[in-house]
């Protein structure tokens, strides 16, 4: 179980870093049109992270 939790955390961090790294690309029209999408994606990551932590806490409390 510890391996699975560590793996999930590593995948989440890698996905977040990959998303942030893509924000540095220079194309003014693309960047200005995708700003709302970036905000939405960040909110989705936050919701998923808190949901995963909550689910994990629920699972641990049930065992």
Does the model's pTM come out above 0.85?
Answer: no
Distance of alpha carbon 31 from the chain centroid: 20
* pLDDT tens readout for residues 5-58: 889 999 999 998 988 887 766 666 666 667 788 888 999 999 999 999 999 999
Residues with Cβ within 8 Å of 15's Cβ and at least 6 positions away in sequence, in order, are 45
Going along the chain, which residue ranges are E strands? none
Per-domain boundaries in the chain: 38-63
d(CA 2, CA 7) in angstroms, rounded, equals 9
């Amino acid at each position: 179980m510890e391996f699975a939790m560590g793996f999930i955390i590593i995948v989440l961090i890698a996905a977040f870093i990959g998303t942030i790294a893509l924000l540095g690309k220079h194309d003014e029209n693309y960047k200005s049109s995708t700003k709302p999408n970036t905000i939405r994606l960040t909110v989705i990551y936050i919701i998923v992270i808190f949901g995963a932590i909550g689910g994990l806490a629920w699972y641990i409390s049930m065992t």
